[in-house]
Amino acid sequence: MTANHVGHEIATFPGSPGRGLAAPGGETRSRGRLGQTEMAIPQGKMPFVFGMVVLATLLIAAPAAHAACRSPKNICKHFDDCLQRTSDSNTKDADGIRAGVKARNGQIVLAGAEACARDLGRKQQWDKWARGCSELELVQIARVELELGKVYCDRYSQ
C-alpha cells in the first residue's frame, strides 16, 4: 500500500508499463517503475472487494455441492435387484433401465427404476434414495451395475 498525492492509501498491482489507473481525485499517474500501476481501491474497501470475490465463488460452486446422490450404494443395489428379475411382466422395467443406459438418458433409467420400485413395494425407499440425484448420476450408477455387477455397488459409500 502506498499513499497517493491526496493522502489516500492505494494498492499497487502489476499492469501495463507506464500507465496508471485513476487515483481518487481523478488524476492518472505512473509510479515510474515498469510493470507497476496504481489501482484506485482505498485500503478500507479491500475487504469488501475480497468479500465479493469469495461470495461469487461460493454462489458458483454451491449448486454442484448439493446435487449429489445421497445413497448411491442403495440405488446400485436396487438396479441390480431390478435387472435380476426374470418373470415376463417384470422384464420391461429392466429393459427400460438397460435402454436408458444405452441411450445415456436418465429419464428412461429413472422411469424403469421407479416402475421396478413400485413392483417391489419400495417406492417410498426409492424416492428417498434418488432424491438429489441428477439424471447423469443415475445413468452412471446403472452403467456400473450393468457392466461390473452388484459386487461393485459396495465401492459407493453411504
What is the per-residue pLDDT across 35-48, written as a single tens digit (0 to 9) for each?
555 556 667 776 66
Same-domain status, 79 and 142: yes
Which of 12, 37, 66 marks a domain boundary? 66
Same-domain status, 91 and 32: no
DSSP letters, 1-48, are -EE-TTS-EEEEEE-STT--PBPTTS-B---SSTTEEEEEEEGGGHHH
Which of 22, 48, 66 marks a domain boundary? 66
Q: How many domains does the chain have?
A: 2
Which of 48, 66, 84 marks a domain boundary? 66
Higher pLDDT, 153 or 63: 153
Same-domain status, 92 and 140: yes
Same-domain status, 37 and 87: no
Same-domain status, 76 and 151: yes
Same-domain status, 18 and 54: yes
Same-domain status, 148 and 77: yes
What is the rounded distance in angstroms from the CA atom of residue 22 to the CA atom of residue 76? 60
Same-domain status, 102 and 40: no
Percent of the chain clearing pLDDT 90 (strictly above):
34
Same-domain status, 61 and 77: no
When mean pLDDT is compared across 1-10, 70-79, 105-114, the lowest value belongs to 1-10
| One-letter amino acid for residue 39 of the chain | M
Same-domain status, 93 and 139: yes
Q: Which pLDDT belongs to residue 109? A: 95
Angle at which helix 106-120 crosses helix 72-84, to 10 degrees, equals 70
**Domain residue limits at 36:** 2-66
